[in-house]
Structure 1
Amino acid sequence: MATTESFLVPDVPDLDPNTFGHDSGPVALTDPTHDIDGDGVLDTQTFDAGDVVVIASDLDSDGDADHLTLIHEDGDYASWQFHRDGDGVVHWEQTDGGTLGIG
């Protein structure tokens, strides 16, 4: 008989879309599955975080996401870019947002 232990649960980044924002820290990619820039290196992971689909990309291959897009079930979305200042301070900057018009 199959049990829940029989199924592999994907390893997903620790991210709470309800509290994510400017002051959130780095988001470590745990299991990239897509190569969105075509360089032969897996750099992007797509996963669910509650009722939000998250697309996270690590284009500089340091293990942390450089870009995130969060798409809520109502179609609202926000895209964020990660920054590390010269003094080591990290922050996210929202680069896009709106609605996909789902409904």
Structure 2
Amino acid sequence: MATTESFLVPDVPDLDPDTFGPDSGAVTLTDPTHDIDGDGVLDTQTFDAGDAVVIASDLDSDGDADHLTMIHEDGAYASWEFRRDGDGVVHWQQTDGGTLGNG
């Protein structure tokens, strides 16, 4: 028999794609489900956030996302990488962006 535990939605990171930017803080991955680099460790979580799908990857296994890609319903997308400057300041740097569409 099915129980309510069978239908629990995985915990997703708190992230707003509409306000995300360089000064956004760390994004903790709460329930990775994919191993995109093939090392046997689940490192990537895909989830809905507002009007966007977010693909978040933690490739250094510290619990926080290193790479994010957000794809909005209208086809706009942005990819970000988490960086630490030489003086220890952390920030997100946009590495790609544009619009998916015809041609």
TM-score by length of 2: 0.90
Task: Look up the match of 2:13.
Answer: 13
CA deviation vs aligned residue, 1:29-73 (integer Å, no higher than 9, x gap): 000000000000000000000110000000000000000000000
Give aligned pairs, total: 99
1:28 corresponds in structure 2 to 28
Structure 2 alignment gaps of length 5 or more: none
What runs of 5+ residues in structure 1 fail to find an aligned partner? none
Deviation at 1:14, TM superposition (A): 0.9
Where in structure 2 are the equivalents of 1:1-103 lying within 5 Å?
6=4, 7-101=7-101
Q: Residue 55 of structure 1: SS of its match in structure 2?
A: strand
* Aligned sequence identity (%): 87
- Counterpart code for 1:96: D
**Displaced runs of 4 or more, over 3 A:** none
